[in-house]
Amino acid sequence: MVIDMKDVSLKLKENKILECVSLQCGEGEICGIIGRNGSGKTMLMKCICGFVRPTNGEILVLGKRIGKDVDFIPDAGIIIETPGFIPYYSGIKNLRLLASIQNKIKEPEIKKVMEMVGLNPDMKRIVKKYSLGMRQRLGLAQAIMENPKVLVLDEPFNGLDKEGVVDMRKYLLKLKDEGKTILLSSHSTEDIELLCDKVYEMEHGKLEAVEK
**Residues 6+ positions from 170 with CB-CB distance below 8 Å:** none
Q: Give the distance from CA 83 to its chain's centroid.
A: 10
pLDDT band at 11 (very low <50, low <70, confident <90, very high): very high
Say which CATH topology domain 1-75+150-212 has: Rossmann fold (3.40.50)
**Residues 6+ positions from 11 with CB-CB distance below 8 Å:** 17, 55
pLDDT at 187 > cutoff 90: no
Q: 103-135 pLDDT, tens per residue?
A: 999 999 999 999 988 899 999 999 999 988 899
The domain spans of the chain are: 1-75+150-212, 86-148
Q: What is the mean pLDDT of the chain?
A: 91
Average pLDDT for 178-194 = 89
Q: 63-99 pLDDT, tens per residue?
A: 999 999 999 999 999 999 877 899 999 999 999 999 9
Give residue 23's pLDDT: 95
Residue 134 near residue 161, CB atoms below 8 Å: no
Give residue 154's pLDDT: 92
